[in-house]
Structure 1
Amino acid sequence: MFEIMTESSPELLAIRVSGRLSKADYARIIPWLDEQLARHPHPAMVVDMRDFHGWDGAGALFEDARFGLTHRGDLRRVAMIGDRTWQSWLATLFAPFMKTELRYFERAEVERAWDWARGPVRAAP
């Protein structure tokens, strides 16, 4: 399931992902994310995945990929916090398709992830 974290603000969207995600979970969170992006262009995002165990079927995974590709240039930067090797691989896999900075942080790097998400975007080469 998704949980909007209390640290969320117009400049920094923060969500916690736990358990296994279903297509219904995306039906609940995507309208909120779409609304936030329409009101406040280019916020940063923190996705805390430390208790995330995967998706319940291809439909949920498809919704995740669809949202990411639809909004790939709408976020200033994305910090993913996790504790599983496959989550790091997931970040590496999605990074080339994003038009934003995307970085994965291990459980021990939580404060560093938040600091990075709040920081400035690097200049394009």
Structure 2
Amino acid sequence: MLHILPETAGDIMVLQATGKLTTADYQDTFLPLLEEKVATHGGVRCLIYLDHDFKGLEVGAMWEDTKLGLQHNRDFIRLAVVGDGAWLDWALKLGALFIKGETKHFTENQFLQALHWIDAGD
């Protein structure tokens, strides 16, 4: 499941991923928010927090993730992935492959640093 966190404002998107992400998470939550932010601000700064209960993506969600990366690769100014474990490597490799902006990972206890990082720079 994907949750929009209260730190989301302006060109900043802050999301928490828990359990398994589904196609609906992309189509009903991530994509509408991304398209609204891009239409308003021209690009986004995104932080995705993979919480301790994050289990990965369902097959349909993997396809949605790939499509999103291909269609919106130039829309990300910065992408921070926050969390611990094996999913971090996967998320960062995928981000670096599809995202033209900067990508960086942070551990869970560096959440605030990640938030400051996406907000800094151009």
Q: TM-score, normalised by structure 2?
A: 0.88
Superposition RMSD in Å: 1.5
Note the residue ranges of structure 2 that are not aligned, 5 or more in a row.
none
Aligned residue runs from structure 1 range 6-17, under 5 A: 6-17=6-17
Q: Which amino acid aligns with 1:23?
A: T
Aligned length: 120
Preserved CA contact (<8 Å) 1:41 1:75: no
CA separation in 1, counterparts of 2:91 and 2:3? 20
Residue type of the partner of 1:110? Answer: F
Instruction: State the distance in 1 between where 2:73 and 2:105 align.
Output: 16
Identity percentage of aligned residues: 32
Runs of 4+ in 1 over 4 A off after TM superposition: none
Displacement, 1:90? 2.7
Mapping 1:110-121, distance limit 5 Å:
110-121=111-122
Which blocks of at least 5 consecutive residues in structure 1 are unaligned? none
Using structure 1 for the length normalisation, give the TM-score.
0.86
Give the corresponding residue for 2:55. Answer: 53
Q: CA deviation at 1:76?
A: 1.1
Q: Secondary structure at the match of 1:76?
A: strand
Deviating more after overlay: 37-46 vs 85-94? 85-94
